[in-house]
Structure formats: structure tokens, C-alpha cells
Amino acid sequence: STMPPLLSAIANAGRHGVLAKSAVVMERLSQVDAVALDKTGTLTEGTPRVTDIRPAAGSGLDEDGLLALTAAAELQSEHPLARAVVGAARERGLPLAEAAGFSSAPGAGVTAVVDGRTVQVGSPSRLSYTDADADSDADAGADAYADADGDGDGDGDGDGSKTARTVRELQDQGRTAVVVLCDGVPAGVLGISDRLRPDAKATVAALTELTGRSPVLLTGDNERAARRLAAEIGITDVRAGLLPQDKVAAVRHWESEGRRVLVVGDGVNDAPALAAAHTGIAMGRAGSDLALETADAVVVRDELATVPAVVELSRRARRLVV
């Protein structure tokens, strides 16, 4: 070819299903020596499904009621978990009330007013609450918890309330547990599960081979679910319960140690990390618009294995340039 090597590398990357935004990106990609992978939407397919619907005793809600209330609050969120909830409600043909005053806290959840009640949906470790039927015996004091024991599972003393027990039970099954509060009181818990991408394990192995170190898993999800998934694909370094700014801090820390970090994410809550990294690659199909804007390159074919393939390609191109 008569094309300059880095340009032809862009063309080749395109053939592999990765869109690089400039020739400089291919050069930077050739320099990476550490990789951080997001979980939801990146290592997983990003099309999670609701597997468990557990209305809280005393909430007055049945399964459909809890699902409809949650979906109404999630309608305006573009988070994969929100799409799962809304999809499940639509599948059951449930009518959704109109929500007002929607707001979302990245890495934590959403809040909206539904039928005059404030509904909060989100991470058990980011919401604090007391069960409506919390009894007045010895453990009642432990019912209001916000992960007081700091283990990232949102479970202050490990056994503080019925809601906490349901959360733990679902997490032990590898589910992402989402807590729903109605005017601050638990309305129930949803269990949501997302399939691992079929090429996740091979991708981790290829990236380990290329960089000489195993990729790190960065996730806002709970530690239990994250470790379970990581073990399946050969990742041991797991950073769970992270907010978007924590992901940025982790990347900055490694870069301050001289590493050139490649972040692969879907841009839902990791767009700042994609921007902060030496190189950021966004998963195109699951990815948010923000991810596509922020990242240096986009995986358009929706195969994770294209990431190591393109790193390898960028190195070959660089050898031709130097």
C-alpha cells in the first residue's frame, strides 16, 4: 500500500471493527502497557435482564406493582439496568405512570416523583434506608445502614434488615441487586443479571499477553457480583463500588506510576475515565452518546476481542513507522 503506515493502520482497524478517531490514536494505542476494563456493558453484553422481583413486606406492592413503579422512575435513564427494568415492565404489559423531576446520580441510581411519591432506585451501598416493618428488638438499630462496614455490599452489619438479607442473597447468586425506596422506605429489591460476553475470557488472556500484566476490573457494581464474574475470566484485581470519579482516580494513579493505561468502557458512568486514560476505547453498541464523543476509538462490531487485535495492529504499524 502507498498509504502512510498509521493511516493504513486506521483502515485496518476499521476492517477489524474498531473506529479510531485519528492516526495519533493508533500511535497512542501502540504504547499502552496496562488495561482497565469496565464490567457492565463491556465485559458483559450490556443487555441485562430482570431475574428477581421482591416486593418488601408491608409495601402493599405485588411483583407487577413494584416493577411498574420502578420502571416509571427509570424511564428517562439510559443506564443498561434502567433499560432492563423498563423492558421487563413492557414485556408484562404494565402501564407506566408518568414521572416528574427525574434526576440521576452516576454510579448510584435515579430519583423521580411517581404519583406524588419520591421513588429512588439504585445501588444498595449508595442508598440508606430503614425497613418499614423494622422491629424494635436488638437488631433494629442496624436497619438504617449505608454500608457501615465498608465492604461495598451496602450491608451495614451483614444481617441488619430483611431488605439487606434479600440484597445479599441475590448478590451471592451473582445478580446485581437494585434497591427501590418509596418516600425513603424500602418498596423492594430487584435482581438483575447480565451475560458475560462469549469472548471476555479470551480477550483478558490476549491483553495479559500483550501488556505483560493482567487487566484490572473497574466497576460501580458490588464486590460480590464483580469478583464472581472476574474469577470466571481470569481477573484477580477487582476494584468495585466505584463512582465515576473513583475510576478516574484509579487511572490517574496508575499513570502517575508511569503506566500508559488503556480504558475500555461503555461510557455509562465511565466517560470521565475514558477521557482521563492514555487511550480510551468505547463499546459502540452498548455505549452511550457521551462515550462515542469522549473515547479515542469505538468498537463498532460489538466484539470485545477486537480490542487486543487492534492493540496488536497498532504496534505493527508503529514498527513500520519507526
Stated as kind and residue range, the H or E segment containing 111 is strand 109-114
For residue 123, the partner it binds in Mg ion, ligand ADP, none, with Cβ less than 5 to 8 A by kind, is: ligand ADP
> Which of 62, 192, 36 minimizes the C-alpha distance to 124?
192
Q: Is 121 in the site for ligand ADP (CB under 6 A)?
A: yes
**Which span sits near ligand ADP by CB under 6 A: 36-44, 50-58, 285-293, 305-313?**
36-44
For residue 176, the partner it binds in ligand ADP, Mg ion, none, with Cβ less than 5 to 8 A by kind, is: ligand ADP
CA–CA gap between residue 295 and residue 19 (Å, rounded): 10
- Candidate list 10, 68, 178, 261; residue touching ligand ADP; CB under 6 A: 178
Find the shortest distance in angstroms from Cβ 82 to ligand ADP: 4
The beta strands (E) that lie in 139-198 are given as 176-182, 185-193
Find the shortest distance in angstroms from Cβ 12 to ligand ADP: 29
209 vs 237, which CB is nearer to ligand ADP?
Answer: 237
- Candidate list 12, 111, 130, 219; residue touching ligand ADP; CB under 6 A: 219
Secondary structure of residue 87 in the 3-state scheme: helix
| Cell numbers representing residue 208 in the block | 495479559
CA–CA gap between residue 135 and residue 296 (Å, rounded): 53
Q: Is 41 in the site for Mg ion (CB under 5 A)?
A: yes
Find the shortest distance in angstroms from Cβ 180 to ligand ADP: 9
Helix axes 5-16, 23-31, angle to 10 degrees: 80
CA distance readout (Å), 250 to 245, 254, 282, 293, 309 = 9, 6, 18, 22, 25
- Candidate list 5, 9, 30, 38; residue touching Mg ion; CB under 5 A: 38
Q: Is 266 in the site for Mg ion (CB under 5 A)?
A: yes
- Candidate list 30, 35, 37, 38; residue touching ligand ADP; CB under 6 A: 38
Q: Is 282 in the site for ligand ADP (CB under 6 A)?
A: no
Contact between 43 and 63 under an 8 Å Cβ cutoff? The reply is: no
143 is a catalytic site residue = no
CA–CA gap between residue 163 and residue 142 (Å, rounded): 12
Q: Cell 443506564 maps to which residue?
A: 79
Q: Is 156 in the site for ligand ADP (CB under 6 A)?
A: no
Q: Is 79 in the site for ligand ADP (CB under 6 A)?
A: yes
Long-range CB contacts (within 8 A, 24+) of 240-244:
240/152, 241/123, 241/125, 241/152, 242/107, 242/218, 243/106, 243/107, 243/108, 243/269, 244/106, 244/107, 244/220, 244/269, 244/270, 244/271, 244/272, 244/273
17 vs 41, which CB is nearer to Mg ion?
Answer: 41
Find the shortest distance in angstroms from Cβ 205 to Mg ion: 22
How many residues make contact with ligand ADP (CB under 6 A)?
Answer: 23
| Cell numbers representing residue 207 in the block | 491483553
| Cell numbers representing residue 183 in the block | 418516600
Q: Site residues for Mg ion, window 152-211 (CB under 5 A)?
A: none
- Candidate list 131, 221, 296, 303; residue touching ligand ADP; CB under 6 A: 221
CA–CA gap between residue 138 and residue 140 (Å, rounded): 6
Q: Is 82 in the site for ligand ADP (CB under 6 A)?
A: yes
25 vs 82, which CB is nearer to ligand ADP?
Answer: 82
Q: Is 176 in the site for ligand ADP (CB under 6 A)?
A: yes
Active-site residue set: 38
Q: Using CB under 6 A as the criterion, which residues of the chain lie in contact with ligand ADP when the complex forms? A: 38-41, 74, 77, 79, 81-82, 107-110, 121-123, 176, 178, 219-221, 268-269
Q: Using CB under 5 A as the criterion, which residues of the chain lie in contact with Mg ion when the complex forms? A: 38, 40-41, 266, 268
